[in-house]
Amino acid sequence: MSTPTKFVPQATPETQPYWDGTAARELRIQQCVPEQHTFFYPRTSCPTCGTEEVKWVTASGRARLHTYVISHRPAPGFTPPYVIAVVELEEGPRMMTNLVGIDPDPDLLELDMDLVVDFEARGEDISVPVFRPTGSKEAA
């Protein structure tokens, strides 16, 4: 019996620059031009000021652990237990992701711990951002 594979996201016209970035191992987020609010998830207008004048910027890749849950339920492509996290990017936006490079142990997972982005290949043309503690080995 084969192990199910992880979900492969599909790019849309609005999200294509994001996925092009992950393929290049860059974490791209959006920023409104008038007020420079940064935001994530990709969309056509700024959620803070409403302007449609937005641009893509490359994030630093640094973040802090905001919150997490250790999942013990199987999911396609994931072997329990694994960490589902919300991280706060250095630029301000928060995003949901997985933590890698650390055991799923509450004694090791400290809120506000420093994290860095890594990328996990999904399919041939798509990579998804995952985060690992600063200084840990790169994700597989």
Q: What is the pLDDT of residues 10-35, one digit of tens each?
A: 999 999 999 999 999 999 999 999 99
Whether 82 is covered by a domain: the verdict is: yes
Mean pLDDT to the nearest integer, 77-104: 97
Low-confidence winner among 35-39, 78-82, 120-124 (lowest mean pLDDT): 120-124
Which helix H or strand E contains 65, and what residues bound it? strand 62-71
Residue 138 within a domain? no
Tally of residues, the chain:
140
Query: To which H or E segment does residue 118 belong?
Result: strand 114-122
pTM of the model: 0.91
Average pLDDT over residues 78-95: 97
pLDDT band at 139 (very low <50, low <70, confident <90, very high): very low
Residue 3 has pLDDT above 80, yes or no: no
pLDDT averaged over every residue in the chain? 94
- Chain centroid to CA 29: 10
Q: Is 109 a member of any domain?
A: yes
- Would 7 be classed as within a structural domain? no
What's the pLDDT tens digit per position in 56-65?
999 999 999 9
Paired residues of 99 in beta bridges: 83, 131
Residue 140 placed within a domain: no
Per-residue pLDDT, 136: 75
CB atoms within 10 A of CB 132: 18
Q: Look at 125 and 117; give whichever has higher pLDDT.
A: 117
User: Range of 52's domain?
Assistant: 16-133
11 within a domain of the structure (yes/no): no
- The span from the CA of 63 to the CA of 115, in Å, is 5
Q: How many domains does the chain have?
A: 1
In a domain, 2, yes or no: no
Q: Is the pLDDT of residue 55 over 90?
A: yes
Q: What is the pLDDT of residue 12?
A: 95
- Give a yes or no: residue 3 inside a domain: no
- Which SS3 state, helix, strand or coil, does residue 37 take? coil
